[in-house]
């Protein structure tokens, strides 16, 4: 079943087996067309979110890893992206990466946890394809609001997707945007 076939389905998100979405947050699956602007333009595309967020804010982003782990060839992390040189959070993300599908150099850069994933893949000329799989409206609970440094819970929008590297499904992502100032 595609996300576009199931609007208004509300569920607690649990993804990647070993990375748990904050249990106190709820998400509603949306069709891309139901995502309000400017979020639709920021989410409904096949580009890396790193590039999209940097273009929107006119500023590079830095990664801050909140939690990471590894199980054999699989690496996962919970991150926030901040505007370069600031503490302003613009995106929250969860990723699960099959490291065996990436070169040693790319694996090393990912595991160093210093550079946003999209930038690593682009700068290393990894043949990649980004495929969004669902669009979400999220009501953050206290844990997610804390990670996002929100003064109070506000509606957020995001997407899940798969990044294919060299035609292999190598990376699963969940990307949530910080509320955009009006």
Residue ranges and CATH numbers for the domains of the chain are: 3-177 (3.40.1410.10)
Q: What is the pLDDT of residues 25-70, one digit of tens each?
A: 788 899 999 999 999 999 999 999 999 999 999 999 999 999 999 9
Q: Is the CB of residue 80 less than 8 Å from the CB of residue 64?
A: yes
- Average pLDDT taken over every residue of the chain: 86
User: Measuring CA to CA, how many Å separate 80 from each of 30, 83, 120, 151?
Assistant: 23, 10, 16, 16
State whether residue 100 is helix, strand or coil.
helix
* Measured distance CA(77)–CA(80) in Å, rounded: 10
**pLDDT at residue 8 in the model:** 40
State whether residue 177 is helix, strand or coil.
strand
pLDDT band, very low/low/confident/very high, at 181 (cuts 50, 70, 90): confident
Listed in sequence order, the residues at least 6 apart from 134 whose beta carbon sits closer than 8 Å to its beta carbon are 3, 29, 159, 160
* Measured distance CA(166)–CA(108) in Å, rounded: 18
Antiparallel, parallel or unpaired: β 156-165 and 168-177: antiparallel
Alpha helices in the chain (DSSP H): 39-43, 49-57, 104-112, 117-123, 142-147
Residue 19 has pLDDT above 50, yes or no: no
Residue 90 has pLDDT above 70, yes or no: yes
Angle at 13 between CA 82 and CA 20, to 5 degrees: 70
Angle at 64 between CA 115 and CA 29, to 5 degrees: 100
Residue 81 has pLDDT above 80, yes or no: yes
Please report which helix (H) or strand (E) contains residue 128, including its range: strand 128-139
Ranking 81-85, 87-91, 133-137, 150-154 by mean pLDDT, the lowest is 150-154
**pLDDT at residue 23 in the model:** 63
Q: What is the pLDDT of residues 118-159, one digit of tens each?
A: 999 999 999 889 999 999 999 998 888 888 999 888 999 999
Residue 104, phi then psi, degrees to nearest 5:
-60, -40
């Amino acid at each position: 079943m595609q996300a576009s076939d199931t609007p208004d389905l509300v569920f607690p998100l649990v993804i990647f087996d070993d990375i748990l979405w904050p249990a106190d947050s709820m998400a509603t699956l949306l069709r891309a067309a139901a995502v309000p602007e400017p979020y639709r333009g920021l989410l409904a595309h096949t580009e890396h979110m790193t590039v999209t967020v940097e273009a929107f804010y006119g500023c590079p982003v830095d990664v801050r890893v909140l939690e990471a782990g590894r199980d054999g060839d699989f690496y996962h992390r919970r991150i926030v992206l901040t505007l370069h040189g600031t503490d302003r959070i613009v995106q929250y993300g969860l990723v699960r990466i099959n490291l065996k599908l990436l070169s040693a150099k790319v694996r090393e850069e990912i595991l160093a946890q210093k550079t946003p994933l999209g930038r690593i893949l682009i700068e290393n000329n990894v043949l990649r394809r980004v495929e969004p799989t669902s669009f979400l409206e999220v009501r953050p609970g206290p844990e997610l609001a804390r990670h996002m440094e929100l003064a109070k819970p506000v509606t957020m929008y995001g997407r899940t997707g798969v990044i294919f590297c060299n035609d292999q499904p190598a990376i699963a992502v969940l990307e949530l945007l910080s509320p955009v100032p009006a």
